[in-house]
Chain A
């Protein structure tokens, strides 16, 4: 299976930004993969999640975003980048759209970020 979490910056201080790149469909079968990918997020001040290549997520995947936000609560920012309209709608239905920063592109994200992308 293609690695879903292609890259995470190996920063060790909280003054840094992490990039998590997601691909494809996320459902119950990939819940643990997502949880593992989000595990190091509290180490970072800003976590940017690139969702441009995500085609769908279900409630179990959404619950991992909730857990991520809980772990980051009050200590950092999570930016969702490039989510499709129907994924944005899911975030809205569940009230998560106001808990995360939602941006349609990296260009429109509040803080400039130029990651070195390395897809497998």
Chain B
């Protein structure tokens, strides 16, 4: 059996791909002076038209958190591959983390992006809220009630959130190393808001890298950071005609 850490040793710091029209990109940036960190993000295919989006942050940073990060990330992926919904996936990851290292905590979001339904179903265990920008505007996907990070309570089952993902919408997942750089979270949130709008207008495949540049993170992040983006394809002519026919 191959050691999962060996696999991640050679994982590229950034990825970009297109799956059924959805443009996906990731960027993982360990803290400066650290070879590896405790933040992760990844995308993977769950079903014919469903993409799994996973991001998280093991509290602390640097190499010592790397092994825990690998284990939790894999637990999420394994649970998702068994067909569990995002809330139950994170509940499973929570149980795993409590067994694996009772002293550790991790924040995480896991989401299922349905291309056909143009919707995102996700659960959030204490992680900074995703950001969505598109023709309808820009907003953080925050809710009045929040869920605890993984590892805090034995019976955590975070709430399940459902949001529609209209055509030409950009979804941004990120860790606090992105939004709370220089210990100025309010400023960081505003900068991220602007960076996402810029990246949406630029409309390139390397969206996560563009946001990294806009946030001036390159080579200067003192905390681990990760960015994941998913860009829904514009509506096809058939969809537009269908919508007009329905009077939408």
Contact surface of A with B, Cβ cutoff 8 Å = 25, 27-28, 31, 55-56, 58-60, 62-63, 66, 70, 85-86, 89-90, 92-99
Do A59 and B183 touch (CB < 8 A)?
no
Q: Which of A60, A90, A94 contacts B148 (CB 8 A)?
A: A94
14 contacts between A and B (CB under 8 A): A25-B183, A28-B61, A56-B180, A56-B184, A58-B180, A59-B60, A63-B59, A66-B152, A86-B185, A93-B127, A93-B129, A95-B147, A98-B145, A99-B148
B152-A93 in contact (CB<8A): no
Number of interface residues of B (CB under 8 A): 24
Contacts of B60 in A (CB 8 A): 28, 31, 59-60, 63
CB pair A58 B148 closer than 8 Å? no
> Residue B185 contacts which of A70, A90, A95, A99 (CB distance < 8 angstroms)?
A90
Residue pair A94, B149 in contact (C-beta under 8 Å): yes
Within 8 A of A (CB), among B56-78: 57, 59-61
Find the B residue at minimum CB distance from A94. B126
Q: Which of B40-86 touch A at CB < 8 Å?
A: 57, 59-61
B contact set with A: CB distance below 8 Å:
57, 59-61, 105, 107, 126-129, 142, 145-149, 152, 176, 180, 183-186, 223
Q: Which of B59, B145, B185, B186 contacts A60 (CB 8 A)?
A: B59
Give the interface SS of chain A, mostly helix, strand, loop or mixed.
helix
* Pair B105/A66 contact, Cβ less than 8 Å: yes
Contact of A96 among B57, B148, B183, B186 (CB under 8 A): B148
Closest to A66 in B: B152
Contact B185 A94 (CB under 8 A): no
Interface of B, helix, strand, loop or mixed by DSSP: loop
A93 to B152, alpha carbons, bound, how many Å?
A: 14
Partner among B59, B183, B186, B223 whose Cβ is within 8 Å of the Cβ of A62: B59
Q: Inside 8 A of A90's CB, which chain B residues have their CB?
A: 185
Q: Across chains A and B, which 9 residue pairs bring their CB atoms closest together, nearest first?
A: A94-B126, A56-B183, A95-B146, A63-B59, A95-B148, A86-B185, A59-B59, A63-B105, A95-B147
Roughly how many angstroms separate A98 CA and B176 CA in the complex, as a whole number?
21
Q: Is the CB of A66 within 8 A of B183?
A: no
What residues of B have a CB within 8 angstroms of the CB of A98 in the complex? Answer: 145
A80 to chain B, nearest CB (A): 16
Contact of A59 among B107, B129, B146, B186 (CB under 8 A): B107
- A86 in contact with B146 given A58-B180, A63-B105, A66-B152 (CB within 8 Å): no
Min CB–CB distance A91 → chain B (angstroms): 9
A59 touches B185 (CB 8 A): no
